[in-house]
Structure 1
Amino acid sequence: MVMVMKVASHDYGDALSKSILFFEGQRSGKLPPLQRMTWRKDSALRDGFEIGVDLVGGYYDAGDNVKFNFPMAFSTTMLAWSVLEFGIFMGSDLSHSLDAIRWATDYFLKATSIPGIVFAQVGEPYGDHECWERPEDMDTPRTPYAVSKQFPGSEVSAEIAAALAASSMAFRAIDVGYSARLLTRARMVFDFADTYRGSYNDSLGPWVCPFYCDYSGYQDELIWGAAWLFKATREPKYGNYVVENIHILGNSIGYAEFGWDTKHAGINVLVSKQLVIMMNGNSNSEPFVANADKFVCSVLPESPTISVSYSPGGLLFKSGGSNIQHATALSFLLIVYARNLSLGNRVIHCGKVVATPARLIQVARGQVDYILGSNPLNMSYMVGYGKKFPQRIHHRGSSLPSIDQHPGGIGCNGGSTYFSSNNPNPNLLIGAVVGGPDIMDSYSDSRADYAHSEPTTYINAPLVGLLAYFKSLSN
């Protein structure tokens, strides 16, 4: 039986503000006058210039200085989904969330500005990873990598289309012109992804792998992109695309697979509500509802068909690094689906176990509370939240003295003494959530242990929505 530690309720509003602030610490490009994470400065101001394309902006995905557009797009989709579902609860943080989305979508408009070409990455990753240097000092190659008709990359293109479509909805009420521009581009990029099918592993493998290799195939991103376009446009052609292609994903569609690489569970949760409404209970919606139910049964600790693990302290686990990404992404889906179930006055049957909407919310809250400090170490895994949190995160900018403190450049090898130092990082990357503890709830707080100590945009993006939701319950 999974034990979850009980402590006083968390300040979800404070954690929400910090989870969004984190994205300012990941910004690439020319920083705006209202930048709040002030130890960060302008960086990578010539990205794309060597080939005559402006690719300045976007986000560094984690603790390095490469712009990997596949996970960046997923993070953007999840930020937009967080706003669409829970923006009403964000208060003054809603504008910061929209700023975080726009920082990415402005960049994706640049990365898709040439018809027939989608930029997939900026920065030569091996050179970058050999250097421990601030983004502001970068002197490693900023090579742009693109997919095209001849060298397709359906997963990265379709995920960018999903991000643009979801974001177009987030901006619809406040900037109708920008919203329309994002949606027009989303259609174009989706058509490109669908017409010229193939994985970017085949053409860009030497640079995208092993960092963000596509392990699950590109079909899930095509369906995911169509699902978001359906939600944004209500056009039957996109809904039909989802219905007609879902069988390609096979039997794994109902399980606990959702993240930057695999969209299966997310597709079902997103589409189940949409199709049920659009099709008035038409049988086409049934596989999505059934698969979303199966997803829930694959995550609940008491379910006979569980396919994830839980640590003794209650943290959800799947294999691979940056584990908390699974806890945040899957918990986000649980909350969204719990709200769908409540609307339909429905429960889920996992064998003899009955899962109510309240139970789904309880499981998700357990994950959020664990991350914020309700765990055996009584440690928050969000930098700057709570009394005890990671001090030596695997993050170049955070671990090196800022330009304010050390105006002179720090070269490629100049940073290695800071990397190996046992001192806490000099700059707080407030709101950053690290990969987290091991499956026995222990955490070493070491920069070298990047699988556990590195923050990523795709850990935080679903957490933004979760924190907004739990803030609303605690008010």
Structure 2
Amino acid sequence: MGEKRECLVIILSLLSTLPLSQSFINYGDALSKSILYFEAQRSGRLPYNQRLRWRHHSGLTDGLEQGVDLVGGYYDAGDNVKFGLPMAFTITMLSWSVIQFRDEIAAAGELKHALQAIKWGTDYFIKAHTHPHVLWTQVGDGDTDHLCWQRPEDMTTSRRAYKVDEENPGSEVAAETAAAMAAASIVFRRSNPHYSHLLLEHAQQLFEFGDKYRGRYDGSIEGAKRYYPSVSGYMDELLWAALWLYKATDNNNNNNNNNNVQYYYYYYFNYAIHNAQSFGGTTWAISEFSWDVKYAGLQIIAAMLPLEGKSQVEKQILEQYRSKAEYYICSCLNKNNNNNNSTNVQRTPGGLLFTREWNNMQYVSSAAFLLTVYSDYLHSTNQILHCPQQDSVGSHEILSFVKSQADYILGSNPMGLSYLVGYGPAYPQRVHHRAASVEPFEETKVFVGCTQGYDNWHGRQYPNPNVLVGALVGGPDSKDGFIDSRENFAQTEACTYNTAPLVGVFAKFHSLANGNTIILNGSGNIPLVSFE
């Protein structure tokens, strides 16, 4: 009875912090829309079951000039370039969402669509990995692409492809692609074991390549530097990939006595242990997690590894990883040292985590996911979090904060605007996105030229003719302000890596909200957000 009473108090406290209309947020609808978004970003020949009908085939000659098939994959944002590093991170985060919340996604009826979204990316990575030490990492040129405002179906800009190899290394993108394929191999292990094995094989080769031939990818591919520069370097990606490969080979090792499998299982774990300090895994205290900076993510993965069977040295290093992981969590919760604001993530007056003016929502969604995962871990292991400004923080409190961020995204904010496009009664209408802002190709069959798109479509004050359902835009400024204009790309452009972490978060809250119901004042059933 005491546990139920405690749970009820938590529920009432959560509901009381929101306007009444926001107490009925439909996380299931948000989940469905977030997965649908990836169909809008597809490149290549679209399948018969494509649900977003205003998109059509595009990029069908990608790689032809270089003699390789690079048709497929995803456009990263509102442009028409395929950038390998953010694409791979997107697939890693989608895969992690399914690994962590598979049952919840399945219960919402979205598992098939989530697997399709992942496979659209991994199929492309298999094509792009043409040799153990060759990975094609970019198609298109950002500079020429940004001079044009064209639907992907009309592209006249350069589709030159770029690769990393032994002479032109790219450890970040090789390792992140390895992480994506390793994580996806776990996702498909039960439903498609042959495909899972293929992904793991590619992941191992890519990791070996990225580790053996070390070098920054933006030094080898100049075109990536202006758009996705590697600020953190490649050491975080190598540790991140090693941990994902450890988890992937761990899954295989549990049911496999093959000595080769067991060798790699221990190899990847030892890699993360032996390089923990020199690569910054146990020394960097980070307050952000993104397509570039992976430290917080890999620290949280390491923090959740079991200590049983580990040596004393290994346990100590894993505890050091955990210390840095919990620094990140406490930073998001505003519970690090209050005398030094730099140790906590800033917040807007409306309570949103705020890291940068440009596309801030990417940091919010990734933080929400990591905190959700760690909250689950603490709850399942009956542990608590210790932060400098509070003796202990329970999993309930962490999840309560995540809910505040998810609800802000979905409309519980000073603007009363959902930043997930297509969700709720009010959301951005002028998303900075070429395909969404031009009439559908299937309806007009009229070619839109490079400058014609800018003249006739980009500058229009009218809402986009196509709703970019499920896209998480860059979001408000530090004062909760938002200007809905295509020219305001810092706030209105959406990216695949913004939405990907939300798949897991929305699945979690949809499951909680539909797990039970309670009666308040005899007024009827109210969705229960249960933390038990």
TM-score by length of 1: 0.97
Shift of 1:350: 1.4
The residue type equivalent to 2:142 in the other structure is P
Contact 2:283 2:324 in 1 (8 A): no
- Structure 1 match to 2:76: 61
The CA deviation string for residues 227-276 of structure 1, in whole angstroms up to 9 with x for no partner, is: 00000002011011011112134476332221100001100111211253
Contact 1:5 1:376 in 2 (8 A): no
The CA deviation string for residues 116-154 of structure 1, in whole angstroms up to 9 with x for no partner, is: 211110001111110000000001010101111011000
Residue number among 29, 33, 44 corresponding to 2:44 in the alignment: 29
1:289-368 alignment, distance < 5 Å: 289-304=322-337, 306-353=343-390, 354-368=392-406
- Structure 2 match to 1:236: 266
What is the CA–CA distance in structure 2 between the aligned matches of 1:8 and 1:361, rounded to whole Å? 16
Residue number among 133, 154, 170 corresponding to 1:137 in the alignment: 154
What is the CA–CA distance in structure 2 between the aligned matches of 1:285 and 1:13, rounded to whole Å? 36
- Structure 1 match to 2:59: 44
Structure 1 gap ranges (5+): none
Task: Specify the SS of the correspondent of 1:237.
Answer: helix
- Structure 1 match to 2:86: 71
What is the CA–CA distance in structure 2 between the aligned matches of 1:466 and 1:249, rounded to whole Å? 30
1:51-450 alignment, distance < 5 Å: 51-91=66-106, 92-205=109-222, 207-234=223-250, 235-250=265-280, 253-276=284-307, 279=310, 282-304=315-337, 306-353=343-390, 354-416=392-454, 417-450=456-489
Task: Specify the SS of the correspondent of 1:274.
Answer: coil
| CA RMSD after TM alignment | 1.5
What is the CA–CA distance in structure 1 between the aligned matches of 2:471 and 2:272, rounded to whole Å? 35
What is the CA–CA distance in structure 1 between the aligned matches of 2:329 and 2:336, rounded to whole Å? 9
Shift of 1:52: 0.9
What is the CA–CA distance in structure 1 between the aligned matches of 2:143 and 2:356, rounded to whole Å? 24
Shift of 1:302: 4.3
What is the CA–CA distance in structure 2 between the aligned matches of 1:4 and 1:201, rounded to whole Å? 45
The CA deviation string for residues 336-380 of structure 1, in whole angstroms up to 9 with x for no partner, is: 111111223221221241221111111111111000000011110
Equivalent residue pairs, number: 472
Contact 2:430 2:437 in 1 (8 A): yes
The residue type equivalent to 2:218 in the other structure is N
After superposition, the Cα gap between the structure-2 partners of 1:278 and 1:454, relative to the gap in structure 1 and judged at 3 Å, is: farther
* Matched-pair identity in %: 46
Shift of 1:278: 5.6
Deviating more after overlay: 402-411 vs 129-138: 402-411
Contact 2:128 2:135 in 1 (8 A): yes
The CA deviation string for residues 88-130 of structure 1, in whole angstroms up to 9 with x for no partner, is: 1013201100000000000000111223211110001111110
Shift of 1:327: 0.5
The residue type equivalent to 1:212 in the other structure is Y
| Structure with larger Rg | 2
Shift of 1:280: 8.0
Structure 2 gap ranges (5+): 1-15, 251-264, 515-532
Task: Specify the SS of the correspondent of 2:450.
Answer: coil
- Structure 2 match to 1:12: 27
Task: Specify the SS of the correspondent of 2:284.
Answer: helix
Contact 2:327 2:336 in 1 (8 A): no
Contact 1:383 1:389 in 2 (8 A): yes
Higher RCO by CA contacts (8 Å cutoff, separation 6 or greater): 1
Task: Specify the SS of the correspondent of 2:200.
Answer: helix
Task: Specify the SS of the correspondent of 2:164.
Answer: strand
